[in-house]
Structure 1
Amino acid sequence: MTDERSSGRSRYVLAPGDQVRQWWDQQSRPAKWVVGVVLFGVVALLPLYTPTFLNTPGISFGGTMAQFAMVAIIAIGLNVVVGQAGLLDLGYVGFYAVGAYTVALLTSPDSPWNQVGAGGFLDKDWAWLACVPLAMAVTALAGLILGIPTLRLRGDYLAIVTLGFGEIIRLLADNLSDLTNGARGLNQIAYPKLGETDKLPTGVFSSGNSAGHANYGTWWFWLGLVLMVGILLLVGNLERSRVGRAWVAIREDEDAAEVMGVNTFKFKLWAFVIGAGIGGLSGALYAGQVQYVAP
């Protein structure tokens, strides 16, 4: 917002971003749904009808958009922790790594914990899909374990502790070579087995589907986009609920919120666990698309 002074009077001009937000807030709920559906529909078609100014020479545009979807999911989870609850978490990427390694450890033949086929509890065709809720559960548990002792801290102290958590995850992945294969990483991670034909024996989500616009990167992008919509709906409903109002109160003034009867520790822990689960989902997507995880 800028302040323009003319003829002794002050006139405030909203920045373009503020103007868009103000216009969006003024729209009715059905109008927002229409705009959202059209916008996501246009974005979903970008890999098939890519404008020339969005060209990515030498790199699959669909694969690039898949990475965009994963990072966007991370941003939604981080927004729950930092944007809504006001918790300065600098190690959030650690949850992303936990989600990716959960899938890798359970499905990679390089892992001693591989559970795909040969006596494992994971079916070969459904291994990745079964690991997604497991990855979210493990990362949510990691958020719970990290949050219980650390959420008594605030501000810079919380930031330093969470930054240490992110670094600890990386060091564990790098040094537990008997489990994580160290810097060499874990290869041949499971992915969704869908659309298997004579032309594509490994399915549309496999790296073998690398030709054309609707390649495996595009399919991962579409999957990420669908999950993103579901997460946005879930988080949006939370923001408008009692939980969301408690998060905003904690973010604005934690002491005042506690005086008014808000159980600040409980709601901060909820934000941490929910954000961690969303980060784990993004990590599971990354592991499935790249089919390789390393520190």
Structure 2
Amino acid sequence: MDINPEQFSNYASRFINILIDYSPKLISAFLILFVGLYAIRLINRIIRKIMVKRNLDPTLTKFLADILLWALRILLFVSFISKLGIETSSFVAILGAMGLAVGLSLQGSLSNFAGGMLIIVFKPFKVGDTIEAQGVIATVLEIQIFVTKMLTGNNQTVFVPNGALSNGTIINYSMQGERRADLTFSVSYDSDIKKAKEVLLDVLNKNPKVLKNPAAEVFVKNLSAASVDFAVRPWAKNANYGAVFSETLENCKIALDEAGIDTQPYTIQK
């Protein structure tokens, strides 16, 4: 096909005129884009430093900084295309419709997200704490945005949704640093009650893992139909709780047997 030089010259002239007319918008749009990207990085860095100085949880710091980063990027993109002369109202409407559709399809995930935010902000527990929640007793390994990762005593990894976790009862065994073991020993009515109490207290006092303050307690808890029930309550550091619990059971039983005190076969523990 033959190209008419005059027609080509007209097209070129029109293209150059359009480019000249449009160049201020193009230059200003890209100037906004480059300056905006630099400003966003600077703002994100400053916000992170502020949150770190205020000792915010690292998970929350990263999450909030990422949300701020993407929100500023979206605003910058809208400003960029608006400066180019592209209509943004329809674009914003599309984004809103997409956000609504995603929100409706991810209601459960949003509930877990909100639960994760509540856990991170109000801190009912932290990484390393041993907690009981949703029928699980385990040590917290990681608090994520949607789930909390925990490790049970038999080395099983459990992921609990944050929505259910934040709305349920949480027992934090590590928050106070000390924990009391509540045990019950039952002896027959024929036994010397005062002697039995002395034997039980002596076992607790001889265990170096049992704390002196708060002091351990031994007292008659109940007079049942077939036995006198003693409450045995030693205190221990969280790290020693398991050892104190098991050692108290074993040593009290041995000491009562050696003292000739008849323990009932249905000795119970709580």
Q: Please, what TM-score do these two structures have when normalized by structure 2? A: 0.20
Bigger fraction of residues in helix? 1
Q: Relative contact order (alpha carbons < 8 A, sep ≥ 6): 1 or 2 greater? A: 1
Q: Please, what TM-score do these two structures have when normalized by structure 1? A: 0.19
